[in-house]
């Protein structure tokens, strides 16, 4: 009997050649096709693409053959593409769903399967659950008999250029000339991911790092957090004249940034910067939707600008569901997935980076000066996350202790308030908090902390680890 396949926080992910096999990709594709055929719509089209990981083309073609065997028209991208490109393609080509073969920021040994919706963002959670519920024990479709060349010739398969579609969309949405003429010295680190060709096409003056094809990501998980970006940090410090650096993950939907001093700028600061730019400088409004793990200082900024804030469970699909139904200014996660009004309701690391660069160019201010503007409203703070690779037994024990409210203090830090929207968020005072939550995409226990200084953040994380693993 085949193992049960489950979708996590953001799609199904598994280790290549272990659980992530051609057969299992066919099973998930078959369930997606059955679900699509059950929808009461006339045009049953899908768009599909893969990122830079091993076997991407093989897995994509497998999925495409399954959909074709079920009578569904397929728009397929040749070569690697980012998740935002597929999401944009779903909207452009009027596809009920989009499929991205990607494991996003996971280590190189993983691949995955993400489902997108016709509006250009993650398929809503209840629909994903419906797909998961009908995944067969084995693929029942004779997909191996499907000939892609024949499908292309009869029009049931159409090859599309999603990267050009995306770049054209960027050019029509940003003042790239302002960025080019600003004198800013900018760097882009693709982490060997699927966004690697975009910046050179739209801003050829920008310096590039890790914009080569390397399916193993040089052995590094392509997640744009400080510990994974040491080469970028060293490059900035060595050059000494860099104004800002942008990094994106494996499928280019997550963002990381650095200032000119080679200091990492986390997603909490980026979300606050974007709110300030959109509300103050662009005079836009709308709901601010943030995941449970995002800094509560967002609430302070929303109060300042008279914006409504919504806090969601973790997983961008939760935010996207609000963006589809209501007027949302910005939606963001701690993990670096952010979306804004005027674009698709999808995380897009390159898009967010371009907004910040445009902000710097048009304001004439450095990134630090723009962050100081934010601090004037919400106060200075630092944030860091620690991923604990521990046994599943210990992880379950810790979560059980959290659920039983056994942690009343972490060393000298006494818990004043506990929130449990998604995970366990312990508030020590207005400026200090700690959160414990198991990852929905990797076998790790995540610890998050915020405090006025980085030294104190690290002290809180150290005390947390000692407390929960004792």
**pLDDT of 1 over the 60 cut:** no
Q: Does residue 29 form part of some domain?
A: yes
Q: Are residues 180 and 125 in the same domain?
A: no
Q: Are residues 204 and 75 in the same domain?
A: no
Question: 279 CB contacts (<8 Å, ≥6 apart)?
Answer: 285, 305, 307, 329
Q: Which domain-ending residue is among 356, 378, 400? A: 378
Q: Does residue 268 form part of some domain?
A: yes
Phi, psi of 256 (to 5 degrees): -135, 155
Q: Are residues 104 and 180 in the same domain?
A: no
Say if residues 47 and 89 touch (Cβ distance below 8 Å). yes
Q: Average of pLDDT values for 272-291?
A: 97
Provide the number of structural domains found in the chain. Answer: 3
3-state class of 62 per DSSP? helix
Report d(CA 308, CA 111) in Å as an integer: 37
Q: Are residues 302 and 217 in the same domain?
A: yes
Residue ranges making up the domain that contains 413: 382-469
Say if residues 40 and 347 touch (Cβ distance below 8 Å). no
Report d(CA 420, CA 314) in Å as an integer: 12
Q: Does residue 6 form part of some domain?
A: no
Taking Cα atoms as reference points, which of 126, 133, 120, 211 lies closest to residue 169?
A: 120
Taking Cα atoms as reference points, which of 33, 207, 269, 239 lies closest to residue 136?
A: 33
Which pLDDT belongs to residue 439? 85
In this predicted model, what pLDDT tens digit does every residue of 393-405 receive, in sequence order? 999 999 999 999 9
Got the DSSP string for 91-146?
Answer: HHTT-SEEEEE--TTS-TTEEEEEEEETTSSBPPHHHHHHHHHT--SS--S-GGG-
Phi, psi of 455 (to 5 degrees): -60, -45
In this predicted model, what pLDDT tens digit does every residue of 295-354 receive, in sequence order? 999 999 999 999 999 999 998 999 999 999 999 999 999 989 999 999 999 999 999 999
Taking Cα atoms as reference points, which of 122, 140, 182, 124 lies closest to residue 33?
A: 140
Q: Are residues 335 and 425 in the same domain?
A: no
Q: Does residue 2 form part of some domain?
A: no
Q: Does residue 307 form part of some domain?
A: yes
Report d(CA 172, CA 166) in Å as an integer: 10
Q: Kindly report the CATH number assigned to the domain that includes residue 370.
A: 3.40.120.10
Q: Are residues 252 and 351 in the same domain?
A: yes
Q: Which domain-ending residue is among 103, 131, 163? A: 163
- pTM of full prediction above 0.85: yes
CA neighbours within 13 Å on the CB side: how many for 49?
27
Q: Are residues 339 and 202 in the same domain?
A: yes
Q: Are residues 373 and 389 in the same domain?
A: no
Q: Are residues 348 and 409 in the same domain?
A: no
Q: Average of pLDDT values for 12-35?
A: 97
Q: Which domain-ending residue is among 100, 132, 163? A: 163
Say if residues 291 and 123 touch (Cβ distance below 8 Å). no
Q: Does residue 178 form part of some domain?
A: yes
pLDDT-derived band at 3, boundaries 50, 70, 90:
confident
Which pLDDT belongs to residue 189? 98
The helix or strand, by DSSP H or E, that contains position 81, with its residue range, turns out to be none
Q: Average of pLDDT values for 276-305?
A: 97
Q: How far is CA 76 from the centre of its chain?
A: 22
Q: Does residue 28 form part of some domain?
A: yes
């Amino acid at each position: 009997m085949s193992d049960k396949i489950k979708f996590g926080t953001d799609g199904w992910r598994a280790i290549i050649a272990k659980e992530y096999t051609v057969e299992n990709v066919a099973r998930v594709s078959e369930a997606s096709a059955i679900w699509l055929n059950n929808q009461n719509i006339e045009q049953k089209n899908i768009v599909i693409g893969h990122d830079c990981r091993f076997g991407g083309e093989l897995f994509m073609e497998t999925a495409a053959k399954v959909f074709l065997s079920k009578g569904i028209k397929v728009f397929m991208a040749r070569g690697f593409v980012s998740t935002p490109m597929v999401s944009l393609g779903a909207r452009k080509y009027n596809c009920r769903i989009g499929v991205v073969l990607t494991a996003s920021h996971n280590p190189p040994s993983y691949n995955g399967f993400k489902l997108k919706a016709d509006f250009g963002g993650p398929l809503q959670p209840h629909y994903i659950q419906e797909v998961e519920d009908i995944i067969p024990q084995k693929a029942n479709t004779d997909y191996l008999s499907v000939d892609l060349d024949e499908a292309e010739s009869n029009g049931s398969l159409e090859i599309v250029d999603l990267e050009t579609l995306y770049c054209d969309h960027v050019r029509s949405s940003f003042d790239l000339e302002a960025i080019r003429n600003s004198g800013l010295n900018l760097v882009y680190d693709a982490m060997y991911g699927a966004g690697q060709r975009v910046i050179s096409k739209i801003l050829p003056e920008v310096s590039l790092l890790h914009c080569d094809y390397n399916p193993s990501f040089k052995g590094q998980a392509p997640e744009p957090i400080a510990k994974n970006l040491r080469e970028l940090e060293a490059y900035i410090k060595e050059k000494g004249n860099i104004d800002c650096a942008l990094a994106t993950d494996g499928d280019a939907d997550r963002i990381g940034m650095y200032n000119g001093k080679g200091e990492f700028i986390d997603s909490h600061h980026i979300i606050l910067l974007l709110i300030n730019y959109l509300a103050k400088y662009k005079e836009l409004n709308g709901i601010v939707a943030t995941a449970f793990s995002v800094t509560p200082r967002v609430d302070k900024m929303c109060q300042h600008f008279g914006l409504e804030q919504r806090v969601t469970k973790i997983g961008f699909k939760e935010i996207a569901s609000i963006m589809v139904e209501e007027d949302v200014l910005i939606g963001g996660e701690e993990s670096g997935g952010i979306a804004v009004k005027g674009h698709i309701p999808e995380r897009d690391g390159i898009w967010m980076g371009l907004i910040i660069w445009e902000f710097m160019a048009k304001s004439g201010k450095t990134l630090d000066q723009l962050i100081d503007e934010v601090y004037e409203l919400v106060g200075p703070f630092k944030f860091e996350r620690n991923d604990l690779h521990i046994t599943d037994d210990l992880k379950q024990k810790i979560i059980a202790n959290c659920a039983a409210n056994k942690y009343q203090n972490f060393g000298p830090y006494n818990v004043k308030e506990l929130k449990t929207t998604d995970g366990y968020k312990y508030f020590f005072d207005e400026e200090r908090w700690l959160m414990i939550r198991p990852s929905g995409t990797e076998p790790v226990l995540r610890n998050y902390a915020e405090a006025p200084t980085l030294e104190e953040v690290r002290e809180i994380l150290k005390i947390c680890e000692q407390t929960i693993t004792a």
